[in-house]
Amino acid sequence: MTISAVPPVFKNVGAPGVDDFYPLNEPAIGTPLSKDDYPQNKTVPKLFQPLKIRGVEFKNRLWVAPMCQYSAVDGHMTDWHLVHLGGFATRGAGAVMLEATAVAPEGRISPECPGIWSDTHIAPMKRIVDFIHSQGTTVGIQLAHAGRKASTLAPFVQDRREKAGGIHGAHGYLLHSFYSPMSNNRTDAYGGSLDNRLRFPLEVVHAVRQAWNKPLFFRFSATDWAEQEKGDNGEWVSWGIEQSVVLSRKLQEEGIDLVDVSSGGNYVGQKITIESSYQVGQFASFGVCSDDGVQVPFAERIKKELPDLLVGAVGLITEPQQAEGTLQDGKADTIFLGRELLRHVDFPLCAAQELGVAAKPANQYEWAWRRMMKPRI
């Protein structure tokens, strides 16, 4: 076997729209190479097909889930975030969602979480966003308020240049604590009935949608992982998939483009047993068993009920075939990856290889990928 030692030839052209020089990648990293030069790309798996939302094109459907890093200083993102998030962009992720970013100082999960309440947060965040964009990757921000789970220690700004926005309504934080009957004990217009419990989350969505005309996502927990969603008397006693379908329908009516379906985080007694061929989800005690991924069955149910609403699946999705099957079977429209990307940052390029796609690596990394991405008939 002969391996060429000739370096790839690059045009000395910088990526547009950023102040610093970064070599332009054409096509974008993580997208299929020309089917004329790479015959295997005549048929492209759904994971590597683009998705357009409100005029914003996401180059593939493997997206980085928002993951807290607890590395900000007074709400300001640091070089850690640049390296952490920039690495996903240079390895082919279709979108990068910035971690839960507090809208108020007291809304941070920890004192080391990033914020968006001060204009001083703009410059360090813009530096990271610009780098991600320079690699041809869409970037979004997840707005959050931790509510009762906020640290006990002590409006969108266009200069940040995010192209998508997300609202964190999962994992026991403020919005989740309103919509779940396990945590909402209010007796006013914001508590009691399902409509009342959904009132505040929907008011937040409405206000954000009025200020933001770009893609808007909403992450919520589809279940509290309690034993019953309804009591013997027919009243809701915990949060579950039936109420999640109602919430999803109302979110769609308010202009949410995509729901990111997670679970848990609100009930200290939650029990999630995981055992399957993919190590991704068997919940015998709750009557749910799936090799898809720990939360894919919830995404599937919502997609079935609301086929026109985009749905993201997340949770112990660890194999390319597993992710592709989730999309091919119509259970979700896109895949959010978290821990798997922390273990394997180049998962998108490895997934392309396993699924038989020749995908574009970063110019600077072509040395490592040329032999693996060679044309095949």
Residues involved in catalysis:
173
Residues 129 and 45: their CA atoms lie apart, in Å, by: 28
Q: How many Cα atoms are found within 13 Å in the side-chain-facing hemisphere of 352?
A: 30
Q: How far is CA 80 from CA 84, 124, 260, in A?
A: 6, 11, 25
